[in-house]
């Protein structure tokens, strides 16, 4: 039994080693190795954390990511509440399919289609197009966790609260939002991390306002052949992302359990 389990898990382990850990180990290597001088150095890290251009791009990317999180929460929380509390049977399945089916299509094709649609209504590359693309693309990553949290609510709890005299504001602040907090935290973490380093949407829809961390790393490594600084920037962003998740978990783990 144990041998069969090892054989079954082995392909997954090999895939993780080759497709996830190996590229990250290569990034760590290039972030310390100066190919021009042929020596190992920390100069690339010092340049990343002291260069005001990189810091400004990181802060701008973070503001885009936070705005995306807030916008997706504002749009998906009422929808998730309706699906979890008021829809039943086929209606619930239909609503979930409606909100998730578009994301079965290839990511790049959706981005190009959205760009064409925005062109048709007169919206060109810029901050507005960038935010529309970011919010549109990350809605499911907020909607589904919030819906999963609200689906755990006891049946008819809202009806009981209304019978006892609770108003709409009380229902939202004392029932719906507390139950939604685990999903809100999970969805916010997913959207924040992915939108922080997004490459395709800023490149296609952002124009001059789309030079965020993702395009910067792409430019350094592939366009500028500056593997050292590009790898160092990627490692710094990864470390910051992991630390933020760890700190958020320690701060809010009581809500998640």
Class of domain 42-256: mainly alpha
Q: Return the pLDDT at 157.
A: 76
Task: Work out the average pLDDT over 43-63.
Answer: 88
Task: Work out the average pLDDT over 130-147.
Answer: 90
Tally helices (H) and strands (E) across the chain.
13, 2
Average pLDDT for the chain: 83
Task: Work out the average pLDDT over 68-89.
Answer: 87
Q: Is the pLDDT of residue 114 over 80?
A: yes
pTM, whole model, 2 decimals?
A: 0.82
Assess contact for 233 and 213: CB atoms under 8 A.
yes
Q: Is the pLDDT of residue 204 over 80?
A: yes
Condensed to tens digits (0 to 9), the pLDDT of residues 88-100 reads 778 888 888 888 8
Q: List Cβ neighbours of 148 (8 Å cut-off, separation of 6 or more).
A: 183
% of the chain beyond a pLDDT of 90? 6
% of the chain beyond a pLDDT of 70? 95
Q: List Cβ neighbours of 131 (8 Å cut-off, separation of 6 or more).
A: 64, 67, 68, 71
The dihedral of CA 153, 66, 206, 239: what is its sign? Answer: negative
Task: Work out the average pLDDT over 49-68.
Answer: 89
Condensed to tens digits (0 to 9), the pLDDT of residues 26-40 reads 888 888 888 878 788
Q: Return the pLDDT at 1.
A: 54
**CA dist 166 to 157, 170, 239, Å?**
11, 6, 45
Provide the residue ranges of all domains of the chain, joining segments of one domain with +. 1-40, 42-256
CA 182 to chain centre: 16
Q: Is the pLDDT of residue 172 over 90?
A: no
How many whole angstroms separate alpha carbon 202 and alpha carbon 212? Answer: 7
Q: Is the pLDDT of residue 257 over 60?
A: no
Using a 10 angstrom Cβ sphere, with 0-12 exposed, 13-18 middle and 19 or more buried, the burial of residue 31 is: buried
Q: Which of 103-107, 202-206, 215-219 has the lowest mean pLDDT?
A: 103-107
Nearest to 237 by CA among 212, 255, 209: 212
Q: List Cβ neighbours of 244 (8 Å cut-off, separation of 6 or more).
A: 192
Q: Is the pLDDT of residue 68 over 90?
A: yes
How many other CB atoms sit within 10 Å of the CB of residue 75? 15
Q: What count of Cα atoms within 13 Å lies in the side-chain half-sphere of residue 166?
A: 17
How many whole angstroms separate alpha carbon 186 and alpha carbon 140? Answer: 12
Q: Return the pLDDT at 109.
A: 84
Q: Return the pLDDT at 67.
A: 92
Split at pLDDT 50, 70, 90, the class of 72 is: very high
Split at pLDDT 50, 70, 90, the class of 83 is: confident
Q: Is the pLDDT of residue 221 over 60?
A: yes
How many whole angstroms separate alpha carbon 237 and alpha carbon 63? Answer: 14
Q: Is the pLDDT of residue 217 over 90?
A: no
Q: Return the pLDDT at 20.
A: 79
Backbone angles phi, psi at 160, to 5 degrees: -65, -40
What's the token pair of residue 237?
Answer: 């962003």
Condensed to tens digits (0 to 9), the pLDDT of residues 181-194 reads 888 888 888 898 88
Task: Work out the average pLDDT over 32-49.
Answer: 85
41 Ramachandran zone, left/alpha/beta (phi>0; psi -120 to 50): beta
């Amino acid at each position: 039994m144990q041998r069969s389990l090892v054989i079954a898990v082995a392909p997954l382990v090999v895939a993780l080693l080759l497709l996830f850990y190996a590229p990250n180990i290569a990034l760590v290597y290039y972030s310390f190795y100066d190919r021009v001088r042929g020596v190992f150095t920390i100069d690339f890290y010092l340049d990343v954390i002291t260069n005001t251009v990189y810091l400004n791009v990181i802060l701008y990317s973070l503001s885009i990511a936070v705005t995306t999180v807030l916008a997706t929460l504002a749009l998906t929380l009422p929808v998730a509440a309706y699906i979890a509390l008021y829809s039943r049977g086929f209606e619930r399945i239909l609503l979930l399919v409606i909100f998730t089916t578009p994301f079965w299509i290839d990511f790049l094709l959706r981005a190009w289609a959205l760009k064409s649609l925005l062109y048709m209504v007169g919206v060109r590359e810029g901050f507005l197009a960038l935010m529309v693309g970011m919010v549109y693309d990350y809605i499911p990553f907020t909607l589904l966790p919030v819906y999963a949290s609200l689906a755990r609510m006891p049946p008819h709890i809202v009806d009981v609260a209304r019978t006892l005299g609770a108003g709409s504001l009380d229902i939202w602040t004392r029932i719906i939002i507390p139950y939604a907090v685990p999903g809100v935290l999970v969805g916010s973490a997913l959207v924040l991390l992915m939108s922080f380093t997004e490459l395709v949407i800023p490149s296609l829809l952002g124009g001059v306002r789309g030079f965020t961390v993702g395009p910067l790393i792409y430019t350094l490594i592939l366009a500028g052949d500056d593997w050292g600084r590009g790898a160092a920037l990627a490692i710094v962003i990864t470390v910051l992302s992991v630390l933020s998740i760890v700190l958020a978990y320690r701060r809010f783990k009581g809500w998640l359990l």
